Amino acid sequence: MSIWTRISDALAALAKGEGLSAVFDRLKTPPERSVGFTIAVIALGAKMAKADGQVTRNEVAAFREVFTIPRAEEENAARVFNLARQDVAGFDQYAAKIAGMFGAGDPVLVDLMEGLFHIAVADGDYHPHEDAFLREVARIFGVGDRCFRSILARHVPEAPPDPYDTLGVAHDAPMEEVRAAFRQAVRDCHPDRLLARGLPEEALRLAEQRLVAVNRAWEEIRAKEAA
């Protein structure tokens, strides 16, 4: 059964008049969590589209870079998007439901933030309303400032990357701690780890850009220490 069929089943289970946010209460364990992750990206992406006032073709294309949507399943994806846009519940309620599904600070929520950033900058502009939206979602998710800055730097050219933020260590951390953080970050980007976190296979490419940044950060810090 494809993830899109499972999404269709999850939507069909909603009671008449029930908001999309209710679906997250029923998708708390693997493999259902992969369905929840996909719905979350679509739903929060829809709420974020309202934040800057428009949905561009580039944003739609960006979503397709994360998830492969078969033509026969486009209607299901569109239904999730439209339900989220029409739902009177605010994005903060969605974010709180999702945080409750995975647990505040869960690595899956960092993966979800990566997907939202990817969509936000797809039109070539990082709108102030999108920034406010993403910062509030990160706060609700329990994603710390250092992690947020590292994601921001990966996606927004105007935000210079800090290698220490990327590895999640302080600037005065000893090299042993930096090396351990680097190795942990590499392990966290491994496809098996991502699948174990409940991500659908299509979402694995979210980690590719992060892994490049992790390797670059390690090389930069190591070169600095060797100088």
pLDDT value of residue 178:
95
Of 81, 206, 91, the closest CA to residue 155 belongs to 206
Rounded CA-CA distance 225/163 in Å is 13
pLDDT value of residue 58:
65
pLDDT value of residue 222:
92
pLDDT value of residue 215:
94
First to last CA, the chain: 55
Question: Mean pLDDT by 10-residue block, N- to C-terminus, for the chain (227 residues)?
Answer: 79 81 74 77 81 61 67 77 79 87 82 86 85 95 93 89 92 94 90 73 72 92 87
Contact criterion met (CB below 8 Å) for 80 and 63: no
pLDDT value of residue 62:
66
